[in-house]
Amino acid sequence: MIKKRVLKKGKYVVTREGSIVINLSKRLCKSLKPLSKKIEIAGSIRRKVKTPVDIDIVLIPKAKQKIMDHLKTKGTYMQGRGKRITFKIQGVKVEIYYTDSKSWGAMLMTYTGPSGYNIGLRSLAKKRGLLLNQYGLFQNGKHIAGKTEKSIYTTLDKKYKSPELR
């Protein structure tokens, strides 16, 4: 296991080499693909951060229980709550977020982050009388965008920003 000292919030922490986490995320995603209608790696890996320390995956499941059963063979400390499963695999924290096609883009955008960028978009939505969250963009309780990330940007009159530029 290759580890690296990284400056994080003013302190040095020991982290795994980013390429190990990226490769692990790709293998995990590949193993979940047959159990998913749609799946994508999110978080810092999707933003192309050089040294990711965890794995975020967004998926539309074919059958949630089959995914849970599959993951029990892969990792340790599994915790499933609502639309999220958290566990560790080879010491790396993994979070898997479930969604449906209606909220795919909103969920992917939320868990790609970074959080500061998401807060800015949510503030913009609020100024326009809208609500933006991981389930979509809403106006007076009605879902108006969120199937794709671009649909949210378009509805907010913003140019789409690729994950690595967020």
For residue 118 the two structure tokens come to 């998401």
Q: What is the pLDDT of residue 4?
A: 52
Q: Report the topology of domain 104-165.
A: Beta Polymerase; domain 3 (3.30.210)
Q: Do domains 18-98 and 104-165 have the same CATH topology?
A: no
Q: Does 5 score more than 70 pLDDT?
A: no
First-last CA distance in the chain: 30
Q: Read off the pLDDT of each residue in 59-77 and give the average, rounded to a whole number.
A: 83
Q: Does 134 score more than 60 pLDDT?
A: yes
pTM for the model: 0.85
Question: Which pLDDT band holds residue 130 (cuts at 50, 70, 90)?
Answer: very high
pLDDT tens string 82-101: 789 888 888 899 999 999 99
Question: What's the whole-number average pLDDT of the chain?
Answer: 89
Q: What is the pLDDT of residue 2?
A: 44
DSSP one-letter string for the chain: --EEEEEETTEEEEEE-HHHHHHHHHHHHHHHGGGEEEEEE-HHHHTT-SS--EEEEEEEES-HHHHHHHHHTT-EEEEEETTEEEEEETTEEEEEEE--TTTHHHHHHHHHS-HHHHHHHHHHHHHTT-EEETTEEEETTEEEE-SSHHHHHHHTT-----GGG-
Q: Could you tell me if 36 and 60 are in contact, meaning their C-beta atoms sit under 8 angstroms apart?
A: yes
Q: What is the pLDDT of residue 148?
A: 99
Contacting residues for 5 by C-beta, under 8 A, at least 6 apart = 12, 13, 14, 15
Q: Read off the pLDDT of each residue in 28-35 and give the average, rounded to a whole number.
A: 96
Q: Which CATH number fits domain 18-98: 3.60.20.30, 3.30.460.10, 3.30.1360.200, 3.40.50.620?
A: 3.30.460.10
Q: Where are the domains of the chain?
A: 18-98, 104-165
For residue 112 the two structure tokens come to 């790609």
pLDDT, greater one: 18 or 163: 163
Q: Does 108 score more than 70 pLDDT?
A: yes
